[in-house]
Structure 1
Amino acid sequence: MNRGTLIALLIAVSSASAGAQSSVSERVPAKTADKTSAGIVLNVVGSVELVHEGRIDRVNGGERMLPGDVLSTGASAFAMLRFEDGSRALVPSDSRVQLLVSQRRHMRLKLLAGRVESRVTPVVQRAYEIETRRGVLGVRGTHFVVCDDGDRITLDVMQGAVSALTTAPAAQPALVLGGFGATLTAELSAETRALLSAPVFEERDGVLVARGSRRVTAQPVFNASAYQLQVASDDGFEHLLWEVKALAPTFTLPHLPAGFYHLRMAALDVDGFEGLPGQTLAFVPRDSTLTSRVDAAADGRQVLAWEPRQADRRYVVELARDPQFNSLVTRRAGVNGNGLVLPDLPPRHYWWRVAEEQGGVASALIDWTINEVDIVAPAKQPHRSPAATGKR
């Protein structure tokens, strides 16, 4: 076999091998191929719609969102999108987003209107992007909010970092770090600013108790022009229940079932940038069914008092050190009348509740009337000298 024949044979074998590999690759997808996956719509509150191939469907939760689909939320409506890697996007009220790409190594969501809040799971070699009408935001592991109010697009980065590239000619990518915000314009880097600090809730022992008027408040933040409060049933705010804005850091919660809720408040600056969030745990008591108060007995002791609905009723009264009533101080059943004199107790803040008794036990939990009382140390009698008393 001469050299020319050998070269020709090698070329033929190489061509045949390449053809075989090509044929196999057409039949068997490569292991590295990135498959399309769906986002899952979760934690739906209010009116939420999904547009798929021109068809509009009402969303109840659990629906799959495919590339090309558009998700819309109405007034006082919320939805959470969860993706394959655990990353999630909260779509609050009056917002629209479109899923453009959903793959193992690449996810792109387009903000059409309103806001979207993203929490991105750190994954190597995976791109998470938010596209807007003025640019693309790329991240790998962070927490940020994008808002398009029709006039401009703003970016608020709570944690991590976001690389922003606008569509303006000759625009350069800008890196926006956690604690900073930016407006998506050609001069992005020049408009980057520090976010306002997180509001501090006025609470007691780490728990805010929304009683009576259901009012919650926080300390004012310097340079804030407005405040935003969110209420959720979980500390990750994936199940958002309520959101509202006000000029002052004082809000009245809506009527909610009794229990614990997570509150998140942010201060907004004069340009509408959302500041760093402050969070707390709030306890919402059940609506009172009895009129209750704290009176004073003739000997100076405090009396837990209530207005009986009927004269022949007996009541159960509980006093505790915590709003969950896990640490009971005293429990009295079969109380007849409209009050209970408190025993001598260490001075501190207590929670107490009263309910009508039925069959020797308290009626349904919804009948509890919850209140609070501060027990103070008894005032000391002034020491009188013999001269003051007339005795020697």
Structure 2
Amino acid sequence: MSSPTSMVDWDLAGRTARKLVGPGPETTREDAAAVVRELHEAAARAVAHVEGLTGLKPAEGGPIPEVAVVDRPGWIDANTAGMAALLTPLVDALADKQGSRPGPVASAIGSKATGVQAGGILAFLGSRVLGQYEVFGSGGRLLLVAPNIVDAERKLGVDPSDFRLWVCLHEVTHQLQFTAFPWLKAHLETQIAEFVEATDLTPEVLRERLGDLMRSLGDAVRGTDGESEGLLALVRDPKQREILDRVTAVMSLVEGHAEYVMDGVGPDVVPSVKTLRKRFAQRRKGRGPFDRVLRRLLGLEQKMKQYADGRTFVGGVVDLVGMQGFNRVWEGPANLPMIDELTNPQKWVDRVFGRPAITA
């Protein structure tokens, strides 16, 4: 997985994450098997509800989506491979562009250090992520992390069957977004490539910005309120910021769309949906100092803002032009929302409906 010249030792990252992550809540073998069965069934049931509410269908002739119920190490393995597939070519391209690739000894030492760091992040996320549609890397699978789902439903004190279906509604929506519109993945990959091309960081500037980030993390340890973009705060070049705004808008759209769907199915499908939303919103805040530090480092506070802004955008557009009108957002990159339209749905409607529909 990791080449001798890789700037991240992904093999070490995976081993580190597996060592650090806990096994999850205690359960009997029989109960664990029942959870796996119910999650597969919930994912299958969710498909019809998501398609019915959104009016979307997977692209004809596309691959049949795969659902994988995994444990924490399984999620780590999938994401280590996915991150390596996505980031290694980009980091290598950046190093070549800057002419700053270290020698073999320095590269080996540096890649192990970053591998350990990446492993710590993967372990943290691997104990919390409930589900995920794999966009990059091998791609195409819907992952449901059984121990994290069980852990969350127990801590929230909610109905397990309702919660499992609710989670599946969110992840199946992501699956449908990318299988119905294959151009969406290609668009994101293009934006990431343009981001690398625009990079002009020097080691001195990078060290200065890392110092600013560390001060932000110190505030998080002390419990100081505030938002931080985490590692993304290292990027200040106007061209890169412009690209990040476009990527943020896309991710806000797909997250907000999934949030809209998981609540929009209503109590006929998920009887305790209002209770789930209320208690789950509290879970996302993260209370302990370790949680606060890592959330700030990873920019998860901004992630929560993405959920909120995206949900506002989707709900606002549907209120204005209906679901069929909202679905014009999927016609092509030109119809994706701009960052300032997320909180002003009328502005998007005026722009998109002021010209003819995009045809394939």
- TM-score bracket, normalised by the shorter chain, equals under 0.3
With the length of structure 1 as denominator, give the TM-score of the two structures.
0.20
Flag the structure with more relative contact order, 1 or 2, with Cα contacts below 8 A and sequence separation at least 6.
2
With the length of structure 2 as denominator, give the TM-score of the two structures.
0.21
* Greater fraction of residues in helix: 2
Bigger Rg, which one: 1
